[in-house]
Amino acid sequence: MTGGPISGLRRLLGRFEARVLVGLILTAGTLWAFLMLGGEMSEGETAGMDRALVLQLRTPGDLNDPIGSHGVEEAIRDLTALGGTTLVTLVTVVGVLAFAFHRRYRHALVLAGAVLLASMSSNLGKSFYSRPRPDLVPHEVYVYSGSFPSGHSALAAATYLTLAMLVASLEPRRRTKALAYGLAAAVVVTVGFSRVYLGVHWPSDVLAGWCLGATWALTAWLVLRAAGARPKG
């Protein structure tokens, strides 16, 4: 007898690639990390670390002055916009149109979906946790919403990591893949750092934003594979 439940289960498990299983585990891991950070933040467990790291980015004896020259401060104000709604929307629209122009409609939909869901979940998280913005140091840019998670960090992670993944899925050369992921990671880290530097987010807000954004980027990767557009290499 060659059939039976066990052989059927083996055939089912055989359909799953190792990369997909790793992707599922990572997706679950980033979501779990986000929820854990939310719980620890709500219980005040992150307060000490948050305060210490924010103070490290201020001139000793003068909390009104971030470390670095005025030129550095202005540059970081410019860089933080890479995770803002306006620029992320522009990048997403250009990316969607570029993929559609090249008849990569699945890629276009995956990018739009990942960014939209990251934005919605970030806003939902802000409403649910209702964490006030840091009051330890003056804010260097205007803010108007809740603090947890960092929307800039979440949008940056979801947008640029997803975009890098989509570009890598169409590019056979490993160096180009590495460049795409490297640039995306640099932007994500820079945006997160800028939010703490400017005094508008606690470090735990940024970590949570990265986890949330990465969750949607990983989900986008899984969706792309499920749709049949498998990354090369």
**Per the structure block, which two tokens stand in for 215?**
């969750």
Q: How many CB atoms lie within 10 A of CB 71?
A: 8
**Whether 201 is catalytic:** yes
3-state DSSP assignment of residue 146? coil
DSSP letter string over 124-138? HHHHHH-PPPP-SS-
**Whether 107 is catalytic:** no
Q: Which of 70, 102, 139, 152 is catalytic?
A: 152
Angle between helices 105-129 and 151-170 (to 10 degrees): 160
Whether the bond into 134 is cis, omega within 30 of 0: no
State the Rg of the chain over Cα: 20
Q: Which of 70, 102, 139, 201 is catalytic?
A: 201
Residue 147's Cβ-side half-sphere holds a number of Cα atoms within 13 Å equal to 19
User: Catalytic amino acids?
Assistant: 152, 201
